[in-house]
Amino acid sequence: MSYSELQSGSHYADAAPGDEPIDHHETAGAVGSYLLGLGLATLLTAVSFFVASATLVWAPSIPVALVVLAIAQMGVHLVFFLHITTGPDNTNNVMALAFGVLIVFVLMAGTIWVMTTMNHSMMPMDQMMHMHH
């Protein structure tokens, strides 16, 4: 809405997302998008179970295949369900997602670092046994 439309309209307030008039063609497109996402997510899940249980895939490549399918599954969820795209109106969503991923990686790296250095910092078991007596 333009400023003049807001001035002449019956209510003078900001419009929240979702307050726009409902267009039935857009609703059908949105439902179709969700159904396509559901179909792709279901297909990727079924393929993951097939790869993990079948003997057709070379055994050492199964973890790599599952990681690739998991990344594809995340992509399907981000695009079809969370509507994270690279459009100019989604900049805040992409930045929030990037910040969340950064925080998760920092936590994972810190946890791995603490767990690996904890072994080196601990007292040897034979010295610990002498302390109890």
pLDDT tens per residue across span 1-39:
454 554 555 454 555 555 566 677 777 778 888 999 999
Integer Rg of the chain from CA: 26
Predicted TM-score (pTM) of the model is: 0.60
Chain centre to alpha carbon of residue 88: 20
Exposure of 31 in the CB half-sphere (CA atoms within 13 A): 6
pLDDT grade for 132, boundaries at 50, 70 and 90? low
Rounded to whole angstroms, how far apart are CA atoms 95 and 102? 10
Give the DSSP H or E segment for 43.
Answer: helix 24-53
| Cβ atoms 46, 18 nearer than 8 A | no
| Cβ atoms 77, 70 nearer than 8 A | no
Residue 121 is predicted with a pLDDT of: 78
Q: Exposed, middle or buried, 48 (CB in 10 Å: 0-12/13-18/19+)? A: middle
pLDDT grade for 103, boundaries at 50, 70 and 90? very high
Rounded to whole angstroms, how far apart are CA atoms 37 and 32? 9
